[in-house]
Structure 1
Amino acid sequence: MINRIYSVLLLCLFVCCACSSDRQQVEKLFAQADSLLNIQPDSALRLLQVLPASQELSRSESARYALLLAQATDKCEKPLFPCDSLLDIALDYYDNDEKECALALLYKGRLEVEMDQSERAVDFFLKGLKVIAKFPEEAETHRHLLSSLGNEYYNANLYERAGRAYRELYKYCTAYKDKAIALNSLASYYSAIEKDDSSLVLKHKALKYARMAKDSTIIAMSAHNLSVDYYWRDLPDTALHYAQIALQWYFGGKMQSHYYAHIGRVFWDKERTDSAIYYINKSLEESTNIRRRAAALLDLSNIKEGQGDYKTAIAYLQEHVSLIDSLYASDRSTEIQKLIHKYDIQTKIHAEKERSGNLLRNMITGFVLVCLLIILFFRARINKRKRMQRVYEERLAQTRKELSILQNSIEESQHIITLLQREQSGLMQEKEQNQKEIEEREARITKLQGEKINLRNWLFKQSAIYKKIMKLSEQKVSDKKELSVLSGDELEKLTETIFDIYADYIAEQKSRYGKLTKEDLLYLCLDKMGFSSQAISLCFGNIDTHALAQRKYRIKEKMQN
């Protein structure tokens, strides 16, 4: 039996160690991928793509994995569609007060851009900007959101909004590279609103910042933009100059074929057809993009047609048509994929609406149940108070009946004492016997009066106002100003109760001392019951006994006079 227990404990320990080791391995892999994102994004992507098959992730790990995978995929310029469900997990996990939420919204928006869902993309970008505004130090995420938002506005021909987004983007740029990118975007806005001179100035400024940053890709992009600008201004020599700068600084990538095609068109415009054919063929060799290859083939066909080589021109044209057909099929496939994505979005929206409806129904049901419980609770309390009130009234009636009997007995005894005292002067012989009887009667009266006082006190202790006074007298506070006192209504209730229970004592005092006020009589009753000076002061609405001492002094004077 002991061996079995040891075996189970060892197994549990092994499982815990294995889980801990797996967690550490995942964390190490995430850290490694994060460090590779900016320098070798393709390596980071390969590293992340093997993870789900070998490791089950928690919600927090899945959310972080989604962000890392989306960043690596985006930096490798690959479609974000495979990250869709993972980004949904990240958006569900991160709250709106976390910077990771803004990052998830950024890549979710870029995914929607790929799916031609511009409105949803803008919505995600705006939400991301609202979240990232809480983190001024996250300038990079802010730049990416503003850049993507500005591009969507630009593509939707909302140029003024695009311009505002690009200007805001420039404010968040401190590095020369970022400034160059922002200025190129702003230049495209000025071109769209036909402010070509302003656009040209900004493009030159962007090239200047790119050279200061010593970033070959940005230098090539800025030079290419200037070349295109001068090409459309019919300045082919200047356009050729900047096109050659772009090729000189671009060291391979998906844009190289685009640069080759552009410089080929510039040479064609300068009627240097051999150079044009050379660079357009280079574009054709470098490009894997169907649209660019089709455009290059069409340019070659037009050049050959201009040279009178119709056979070669037709061959190029046939290849162009073939690529256009395949492009149509590819676009059709992409459209189907977009429709599937749109259907998935509608399904998610429907599910969310259904969940919200169920939540609302559950909230209403819960609210109704809570209201019913509250009603039942207060109903039970009211019934309990009514029962207690009936018991109190019955006890009060019984006590009053006993008080009446005692009062009659007291009055009868006093009457007998009076008669005996009158007879005493004429009956000296019976003096001793009568004196003894008088003492017995007086003792009985004293006893009855004591019982009467006890009954009065007991009756008063049954009242709610007595409990309130006791609660006030037991207060423990550090500052006297925090002491609670009886309200005006409660004092009135106390006076009514005291005058009802101690009516005969009050009548006696009033007959003996006619100058006593209602408050004086109330004080005498409370003092007779043994309440402390502090408790009596609280009854009269005072937190100290100074006013009570003055009242005692005035009562004493009234009794002496």
Structure 2
Amino acid sequence: MKVLYTALLALLLFPSCRRQSGDIDSFLHNAESLMNEHPEDALSIIRHIDRRKIYSSASEARYALLYSQALDKNYVDVTSDSLTAVAVNYYDRHGTKHERAMAHYYQGRVFSNAGNFDAAIRSYSLAEDAASGTDDYYLLGLINNAVGNLHYKQYGLDEAQTRYKKAAESFHCAGAFYNEAMNYVALGAVANLEGDNTQMETVYRKAIGIYEEIGAIGKILPLYEDLIVKTRLNTGDNVSGIKRDLRRYYAKYNKGEIPLQSLGVWQDIYLRAGELDSAKMCGKLILKHRKSFTAHKIAGCYVQLEQTELVCGNYKQAYNYARQYIAVMDSINQEKEASLVLELEQKYRNRILNQSYENLKQHNDQQRIITGLVLLFSLSLLIAGLLYLRKWRENAALKMREAEAEKESLSRACRELQEQLGTVATAWIRMTSRSGSSSTPSRSVWSSCATGWTRPRR
């Protein structure tokens, strides 16, 4: 009866579990469909899923992978691989090549955010190996771009250039032209560091052509400005021609207005042209809207203002700007130093964790070996016991059969003796009836008949 109640309870709970699992799978499907176009909505859906109601390993792995993807697409820099490890561990055993590639790619993103260069490269390599067996060129582009960024940060410019080229080719095959243009811009940055202005102009113009084709106009002006400053202004080209060309680009791409972010370029142009009032005006506008600029651009603005005041003979004001420049650079250096310390600490912790993981893995391997040997020994004892039991039962059965056969033989001999006794008795009766003797044989006769022989007649 207890077993029956348990079975009925399981039948009642099973549809509920299936329904909850189905609801979660539906939420995950909706999040996946929104991932590329509306990643913020995908992240919101996933964050409202109660992870405790996920009952299957497949759904758990899918949840972990989509959550990691949504966080990355929403520019949330995660440094713990607690989520991606779930996806990697599952898809390495049960997933398709594409799922394995995705899991390792986003684990590489986590390691990259944590500053663990070696672990990130390993994850990206595993992702690339898995993705190479698929036709997902977009994912291959992401992987190559990520590897290129890592090498760029480490000043491995040759490898970075190779990876950016592969990424651009993959994005072109995938039809992701915006990403393709971004990798041409990255190639231009590499060429700039190498001092190859010709190559920089070539790849920048490829990016500009793509931006014009897809309508990303806001990305074009910074490239033209960068080209003009790097290839013309710094090489002593005619300032009037540079100003004319820039205004032509502004008329084409920004309704003739100078963008706020371009004020630094014009401050430099005006200073080189000797138009000091205009240079001062650009500098003051930058400081007025300093929240819209990076710290490095603010520092550059102070340098330009210092040089402008020196040319004007305002040495006290130039000194003040120099002090403000030093203060900004000190702040930048302190932040950089603090970031470097945190990065080194993170790398040290990662190394310790990796060593602990290796030690734990080795210990677990030893434990598995010992457990395997114990199980093998126990299994051997069990098999030996079963074989002994089987042999004992066979021997017992054989002895039983022999006993039954002996019993049957004795029974048959007994029956034969009884038949012989009956025959002898009948013969004795007949003989006594003929001789007129008493019909009842004496005890000695009966005992002789019982032994199968008779005394000779007197």
* TM tier, smaller: 0.5 to 0.7
Matches within 5 A, 1:6-45: 16=16, 20=19, 24=23, 27-28=26-27, 31=30, 35=34, 37-38=36-37, 41=39
Percent of aligned pairs sharing the same letter: 17
Query: In structure 2, what is the equivalent of residue 499 of structure 1?
Result: none
Give the partner amino acid of 2:360: R
1:268 maps onto 2:255 in alignment: no
Aligned residues of 2:305 and 2:318 also touching (Cα < 8 A): yes
Distance 1:250 1:75, change over 3 A: farther
Aligned residues of 1:66 and 1:83 also touching (Cα < 8 A): no
Distance 1:80 1:164, change over 3 A: same
Distance across 1 between alignment mates of 2:383 and 2:218 = 76
Distance across 1 between alignment mates of 2:263 and 2:209 = 23
1:294 maps onto 2:293 in alignment: no
The Cα shift of 1:260 comes to 3.6
- Give SS of 2:162's match: helix
The Cα shift of 1:142 comes to 1.0
- Give SS of 1:292's match: helix
Query: In structure 1, what is the equivalent of residue 160 of structure 2?
Result: 162
1:152 maps onto 2:153 in alignment: no
Query: In structure 2, what is the equivalent of residue 94 of structure 1?
Result: 91
Aligned residues of 1:106 and 1:124 also touching (Cα < 8 A): yes
Encode CA deviations 1:152-178: one digit per residue, 9 max, x unaligned. 223333333223223322321144434
Distance across 1 between alignment mates of 2:304 and 2:224 = 23
Structure having the higher Rg:
1
Aligned residues of 2:145 and 2:164 also touching (Cα < 8 A): yes
Distance 1:294 1:188, change over 3 A: closer
Aligned residues of 1:41 and 1:72 also touching (Cα < 8 A): yes
Query: In structure 2, what is the equivalent of residue 117 of structure 1?
Result: 116
Distance across 1 between alignment mates of 2:110 and 2:268 = 33
- Give SS of 1:94's match: helix
Distance across 2 between alignment mates of 1:82 and 1:342 = 12
The Cα shift of 1:281 comes to 4.2
Query: In structure 2, what is the equivalent of residue 197 of structure 1?
Result: 198
Aligned residues of 2:145 and 2:167 also touching (Cα < 8 A): yes
Distance 1:91 1:257, change over 3 A: farther
Give the partner amino acid of 1:148: A
- Count of residue pairs the alignment pairs up: 372
The Cα shift of 1:118 comes to 2.8
1:361 maps onto 2:366 in alignment: yes
Give the partner amino acid of 1:177: Y
Aligned residues of 1:103 and 1:128 also touching (Cα < 8 A): yes
Q: 347, 358, 361: which is aligned to 1:342?
A: 347
Distance across 1 between alignment mates of 2:304 and 2:155 = 29
Structure 1 spans left out of the alignment, 5+ residues: 393-561
Distance across 2 between alignment mates of 1:188 and 1:223 = 13
Aligned residues of 1:243 and 1:259 also touching (Cα < 8 A): no
Aligned residues of 1:97 and 1:134 also touching (Cα < 8 A): no
Give the partner amino acid of 1:291: H
Structure 2 spans left out of the alignment, 5+ residues: 399-458
Distance across 1 between alignment mates of 2:246 and 2:336 = 34
The Cα shift of 1:133 comes to 1.2
Q: Which has the bigger relative contact order, CA under 8 A and spacing at least 6? A: 2
Distance across 2 between alignment mates of 1:35 and 1:236 = 51
Superposition RMSD in Å: 4.5
Distance across 1 between alignment mates of 2:133 and 2:230 = 39
Query: In structure 2, what is the equivalent of residue 420 of structure 1?
Result: none
Matches within 5 A, 1:221-232: 221-230=222-231, 231-232=233-234
Distance 1:280 1:247, change over 3 A: farther
Distance across 2 between alignment mates of 1:213 and 1:116 = 34
Aligned residues of 2:79 and 2:110 also touching (Cα < 8 A): no
